[in-house]
Amino acid sequence: MTQRILLITSSLFGENGQSRALAAAFKSELAGRDVALVERDVVASELPHLSGAEMGSWMTEPSARTPEQVALASHSEALLAEVEAADLIVLAVPLYNLGIPSQLKAWFDRILRAGKTFKYTENGPVGLLEGKSGLILAARGGQYAGTELDSQTPHLRHMLGLIGIKDVHAIYAEGLNMGDAQKQAAMTEAQQAIAEYVANHC
């Protein structure tokens, strides 16, 4: 059965970004495999920050929406359709100021929707998109994985977990601004880990 993969990129530097290089390595490893790949560059998509008006459009019955609300709701609905269709969601993520790019946050703001991707219960929120997997491809100028400064990885795991995606792997390329030798070693190690992940999961 064809595996459906959604690849999310979020580098401000487009094709020159290090996280984009990890995404390219991932795509290269998919060659010859039975997969259907959809790519979403959240920077190129130019998603605005979430507004009260847009959130209000979600809370309005589709038949009662104004033309403006229809347009606002369409942002989220298009992104939700991509997520719902995917078996594997891959996030190629740079680390900006110890966090995720604001454009990626804008994407999450539109897919983390009560009643759509999770629901509230008396025991807390429950994800509605179980059965999917996640892969984080993280590119960082410094070395943070496993330290208290890495707030990014837990944040991404929590957001994916909110919608029911608990099976999440992370591959890191770190120290990319700490000299050419460190950069080359980190990228080589990450590419090898990507090849191993694809061989075992795709």
Confidence bin at 67 (pLDDT 50/70/90) = very high
Of 3, 20, 21, 26, the closest CA to residue 88 belongs to 3
Is 65 among the domain residues? Answer: no
Note the pTM of the prediction, 2 decimals.
0.96
Percentage above 70 pLDDT, the chain = 100
Q: Is 51 annotated as a binding residue?
A: no
Report the pLDDT value the prediction gives residue 150, as an integer from 0 to 100: 96
Is 111 among the domain residues? Answer: yes
Q: What is the mean pLDDT of residues 56-66?
A: 95
Total domain count, the chain? 1
Is 53 among the domain residues? Answer: no
Is 130 among the domain residues? Answer: yes
pLDDT digits (tens, 9 = 90+) for 152-181: 999 999 999 999 999 999 999 999 999 999
CA distance 156 to 137: 11
Is 66 among the domain residues? Answer: no
How many helices (H) and strands (E) are present in the chain, helices listed first? Answer: 6, 7
Is 62 among the domain residues? Answer: no
pLDDT digits (tens, 9 = 90+) for 83-123: 999 999 999 999 999 999 999 999 999 999 999 999 999 99
CA distance 9 to 45: 10
C-beta separation of 177 from 125 below 8 A: no
Is 68 among the domain residues? Answer: no
Name the CA radius of gyration of the chain, rounded: 18
CA distance 102 to 96: 9
